Structure 1
Amino acid sequence: MSLEFSSSDDTPAFECVIAALDDDSCREIIRVLEEPMTVHDIAEATDHPLSTTYRKLDLLTDAGLVEETAGVRHGSHRTARYVANLDRISIGLDDDNELCADIDRSSGLGIWSNTQRES
């Protein structure tokens, strides 16, 4: 039985999604991302060091489970914000009896995609 991601070719590899979901810290980050947050806010909410938070956000972004949104403007500097962009992940067997995963994307992500705050 082979592992296959059942969506289009530009989707993350099945193994990448499973690795992110198998990580306690990644799951904790997904839980706190009810709205866009900066890396500093995520680190504070999860009580993780910034270096760990950046690493886990890279894993989650590569897996397609978290998305970087437009930055928050602080003077001339922008701070990236992240938001979870999934409603459900389904893992099952396809018609060829191969393991596959489908990620149902959040329908409400669009409202966060252009979020900016001027200071």
Structure 2
Amino acid sequence: MMRAPLGTDDTPDLQDVLNALDDEGCRRIIEALDEPMTAKELSEKCDIPLSTTYRKLELLTDAALLEERAVLQPDGHHTTEYDLVFEEVIIQLDGNRNLDAGITRPSASTDERLETLWAEVSKET
């Protein structure tokens, strides 16, 4: 199942964000992701076993810090790549004295906005 990050107006679950950022392996993955990478590439680059890498990627995706993308290969198969989808994580205290997490996202390119729009139209048809 491909999971996309929460939209820019959605608030991620505070505990999911804290759990991901508290995990050393997750932080290593975040630091290593300077471009989209597969789980295998991240496993090798971060020196984390592949099975553990998948668990870390799930934590990061659940926290809306990463997105998964299917990439079609020339041989017709597909692979999954992971990429960061945040610029800043903010932990804040709201007016009711509740802790909350906010994520600043990079601006979407024209191509990304068109892709999102097309995906929404495709769901409707």
What is the TM-score normalised by the length of structure 1? 0.78
- Deviation, 1:69, is 2.1
Unaligned runs of 5+ in 2: 1-8, 116-125
Change (3 A) 1:112 1:55: farther
Q: Distance in 2 between matches of 1:59 and 1:110?
A: 29
Aligned CA-pair RMSD: 2.3
Aligned length: 106
Equivalent residues in 2 for 1:21-32, closer than 5 Å: 21-32=21-32
Deviations 1:67-106 (A, max 9, x none): 0123141412101100011100111111112111111112
Which secondary structure does the structure 2 equivalent of 1:15 belong to?
A: helix
1:52-91 equivalences in 2 (<5 Å): 52-91=52-91
**Structure 2 residue matching 1:76: 3-state secondary structure:** coil
- Could you list the structure 1 runs, at least 4 aligned residues long, displaced by more than 3 angstroms after superposition: 108-114
SS state at 2:69 partner: strand
Question: Would the aligned equivalents of 2:85 and 2:106 in 1 still touch at CA under 8 Å?
Answer: yes
Q: Distance in 1 between matches of 2:29 and 2:13?
A: 20
Verify the 8 A CA contact 1:43 1:53 in the aligned structure 2. Answer: yes
Deviates most, 27-36 or 70-79: 70-79
TM-score, length basis structure 2 = 0.75
Deviation at 1:43, TM superposition (A): 0.6
What is the alpha-carbon distance in structure 2 between the residues aligned to residue 70 and residue 111 of structure 1? 16
State how far apart, in whole Å, the 1-side matches of 2:106 and 2:18 are. Answer: 19
Compared with structure 1, are the counterparts of its residues 110 and 86 closer, same or farther at alpha carbon in structure 2 (3 Å cutoff)?
farther
**Distance in 2 separating the partners of 1:110 and 1:66:** 20
Of Structure 1 and Structure 2, the greater helix share is in: 2
